Chain A
Amino acid sequence: MEDQIAQFCGVTGASTRDARKFIEKYKRVDIAIDAYYNDPNAFSGGSRRNNDSSGPSTSKLNSLFDKYKDPDGPEITIDGTIKLCEDLQVDPEDVVMLAVAYELKSPRIGQWNKKGWTDGWKNLGCDSIPGMKVALVRLRDKLGSDPGYFQKVYNHTFDFARTEGQRSLGIETAQAFWSLLLPHGLQGGALAHIRSRDKDEDVDMVEEEGWKDDYSQWWFDFLAEKGGKGVSKDTWIMFLDFVRTIDSKFTKYDMEAAWPSTIDDFVEWAKQRISS
């Protein structure tokens, strides 16, 4: 027993108290170590939501991963992604997949590695297709309504969408992802207008209008017309701030503030469009 505990501690680095509990339950060191890695906190305190029997199982996730995995490579690729989406009954181009990509740390479109897969799903608390379906509903809702979460997914999307080795995002690609994200965020409230901090705050309490749905199309029109070669990371990230803070008439925009110049140019362009 003591040998086993020592062995367990040597491998996992866990405390002897934890080791004893694992060994006592699983008897064999190798099984105990597996269990430990599955859920190191299985025995620590009672604050866990799920008890160990209902917690997501690594092996289940592993086998699911293997199911979708590219037979010739270590990762899930496009084909596997499509199959997964079919099973989850979700369109591969559904905005929720961007949240999934963020959660599972998918580095590129249609590319999932094993660690991201298991850690990600485990964090979401699911290890089966039905569980994942439920999680997707939750994620879609969170993405639409939680500004902080929306921003994280939005920022991740830039790296996710980018072709490897490119600094910027092609205009068409960028537009496709904006088309997914912006309406969702605007609808659910994650992109609700934030009033810029006026100096005379208590004067004008009238509800100020912010970014309008139409403006997303204007932005695309503008980029197609004058956008140049691509969208830089800075423009991508700052654009979110811009959408959330700009007033509907673009009057509060400060050309000399630290906005990327593409957004400066857009505001010029949009003001002209409003006046004409």
Chain B
Amino acid sequence: MSSNAAPAMPPASADLATTWAFLEEGVDHIMTKLQTGVSYSKYMSLYTVAYNYCTSSKMSGASSDHPGGLSNRSAGANLMGSDLYNNLIRYFVSHLKTLREASDALQDEELLRYYAREWDRYTTGANYINRLFTYLNRHWVKRERDEGRKGVYPVYTLALVQWKTNFFMHVQQKNTKLAGAILRLIEQQRNGETIDQGLVKKVVDSFVSLGLDDTDINKACLDVYKEHFEVPFIDATEKYYKQESESFLAESSVSDYLKKAEERLREEEDRVERYLHTQTRKPLISKCEHVLIREHSELMWESFQSLLDYDKDEDLQRMYALLSRIPEGLEPLRKKFEEHVKKAGLSAVTKLIGEGAENVDSLDPKAYVDALLEIHQKNSETVTRSFRGEAGFVASLDKACREFVNRNAATGTSTSKSPELLAKHADMLLRKNNKMAEEGDLEGALNRVMILFKYIEDKDVFQTFYTTKLSKRLIHGVSASDESEASMISKLKEACGFEYTNKLQRMFTDMSLSKDLTDSFKERMQQNHDDMDINFSIMVLGTNFWPLTAPNNEFIIPTEIQPTYERFQKYYQTKHSGRKLTWLWNYSKNELRTNYLNQKYILMTSSYQMAILLQYNNNDTLSLSELVAATSINKEHLTQILALLVKAKILINEETDQYDLNPNFKSKKIRVNLNLPIKAEVKAETTDVLKTVDEDRKYVIQATIVRIMKARKTMKNQALIQEVISQISQRFAPKIPDIKKAIDTLLEKEYIERVEGTRDTFAYVA
């Protein structure tokens, strides 16, 4: 391609026709056969001619063409620039007409290939042309735009605008031939075919490039992309997935659908990455979510239950992930999950107690606690694994557990049954001889107790039972270890605060003080007396901290222990004058050595048994009334104690109300434990505890009301009740009738009064 065919470079003063003829040839060369190359000199001469034309005409602005003198200088320059500019337009129009005509016969991929190829060539060429007319851009175009003529563009932009009007729009006008071709390719890809993604990307990119913000040409504008591609694309997507998801669900399971939907969503994300503008992600994904998830959410919600029933973890996970993408998608799941957990808990308990309600009384605390824990653990795992520990599901789990832990077949309507059983279970764990007592296990078991404790509504009932049980463990010395006791207390303290465990801690203090007291008493007695054949130890326990009741029966202290009793009494008074000692014979125990039998036994007894048996030091036969007289234990109670001794064959009861010492008593063990609980006492314990709790509650509610009223002065009934509930619910769930009764009491005691003229407002009476 030598320059011999090229026309000679026109002089600087050449007229438009000459100049443009020269320029057009060059422009066309660049636009159509750039691959053949353009020599540097040719490029420079084109540049120079364009430059010359613009500038030289300024000099000759006062020529005959433009009379009017100096004032026309700028008009002249304008004219020069617009000459070139208009010619360029004419060129682009005719150039594009050829392209357009060539495209008319093309369809689909062929059309896209043609379009992409021409686009490449055109934009490359236009780039060169743009540089060629740098001078025009910098001066004439800039001034035109500065003066507000927004329809005038730099040459490259002009080329794009021309492409859009004369080629792009033309093709698109025929049934959106271009976009349609892209959409069909995309659909093919969705159907699983391989397509030329690079081609799609190129064409789509051209849509982006064609967008033009008239006010600021450097700003990206997605008008064309949105109108000609994105909108139809989203529509097509909706149609495609609507159709697909419906027919898929018609013949496949929800589980498979979940997989499918998940896959499709991922694919569409990828699609955006690969060949779409990033701004399409949001509308595309939200449309997909709508069609794939929202439209079928009812169905998913419905099948949620069976996924739960069959522990389909992966499907649950998928369903969660999908539904979490749409607003309100999870709420029905949370509700169903809550219901599911609740049902599981209830049926576990029902199964445990079997058919008859009579099994409730003999319910094994461990079995009960284990059953509840199993349900909690299983579902808690589901929450973590399948629902990613999402707060809403955690709340559902908690709500459900709270429900079935407090109200189930075993509890009936009593909210105190669960705390009672849990406290009893904790007691078993903390006792000596417990199988769980291998340290690691025990700590774990206590932690599990705390899991249920969290759900217990009547924490005060648990507290009372726990205190009672702890006091027994301590008094009878059957606690597994101080360390575990301390650990449990610190867990409770962490959960409910210092006040909750205050008493428990005081009990331990009393125990260690008692140990010291016993030792120092023993030491003192050894110095002063030499008749110490009785081994004595004492626990002095603060009345306010121990749930112990003094015996309500009379008791004559047997002469054998009278001196010890008096010595201690005296010793204690000198140590702590002013303190009153109440002797709790009903909790004391003794060991008696037998001397009347061939084999020497040690009888482990209660104080009452001891008092009875000691009578036989002087008699072999005693009547019931003689025993009553000797011990002062009331008849009814005494009969029960005697029955135990008769059953153990220590005493013989052959005639009515006549008790003889059995001279032929035999036992395999040397140490004989006679100190067994009397049945009535066991049952009474529960009732006592509940009575204590009830009394405490009345007081707590009243005190809370007074505290609130003191702070607020006046308050409406409804608000007051709400406030009381919210302040107390940490300890137990107060019932509204109980609160109202407390209000009645306080009205009557004139702590509060009704505000005159209102029916529902109370005022604090100072």
Contacts and interface: CB of A to CB of B under 8 A. Distances in A.
Given A256-B721, A264-B740, A232 B760 contact: no
Contacts of B736: 255-256
Q: Which of B740, B741, B743, B747 has the most chain A CB atoms inside 10 A of its CB?
A: B740
B744 A232 contact: yes
Interface residues of A, number: 17
B748 A232 contact: yes
B743 to A, nearest CB: 8
Interface residues of B, number: 17
Contacts, number: 45
A81 interface: no
Contacts of A167: 748
B147 to A, nearest CB: 69
A11 B269 CA distance: 104
B280 interface: no
A62 interface: no
A128 B761 CA distance: 45
B759 A234 contact: no
B170 to A, nearest CB: 67
A261 B744 CA distance: 7
Contacts of A257: 717-718, 759-760
Nearest to B746: A234
B744 A234 contact: yes
Interface in B698-737: 716-718, 721, 736-737
Contacts of A259: 740
B748 A238 contact: no
Nearest to B749: A167
Chain B interface, DSSP helix/strand/loop, else mixed: helix
B754 interface: yes
Interface string B475-507: 000000000000000000000000000000000
B748 A233 contact: yes
B748 A258 contact: no
A212 to B, nearest CB: 22
A234 B748 contact: yes
Nearest to A245: B759
Nearest to A168: B748
Nearest to A237: B754
A151 to B, nearest CB: 12
Interface string A134-173: 0000000000000000000000000000000001100000
A261 B741 contact: yes
Interface in A234-276: 234-235, 238, 241, 255-262, 264
Contacts of B759: 238, 241, 257-258
Contact of A258 (B717, B737, B741): B717
Interface of A: 167-168, 232-235, 238, 241, 255-262, 264
29 contacts: A167-B748, A168-B748, A232-B744, A232-B748, A233-B747, A233-B748, A234-B744, A234-B747, A234-B748, A234-B754, A255-B736, A255-B737, A256-B721, A257-B717, A257-B718, A257-B759, A257-B760, A258-B718, A258-B743, A258-B754, A258-B760, A258-B762, A259-B740, A261-B740, A261-B741, A261-B743, A262-B744, A264-B737, A264-B740
| Shortest Cβ-Cβ A-B pairs, 9 listed | A258-B717, A258-B760, A261-B740, A234-B747, A232-B748, A261-B741, A260-B744, A261-B744, A167-B748
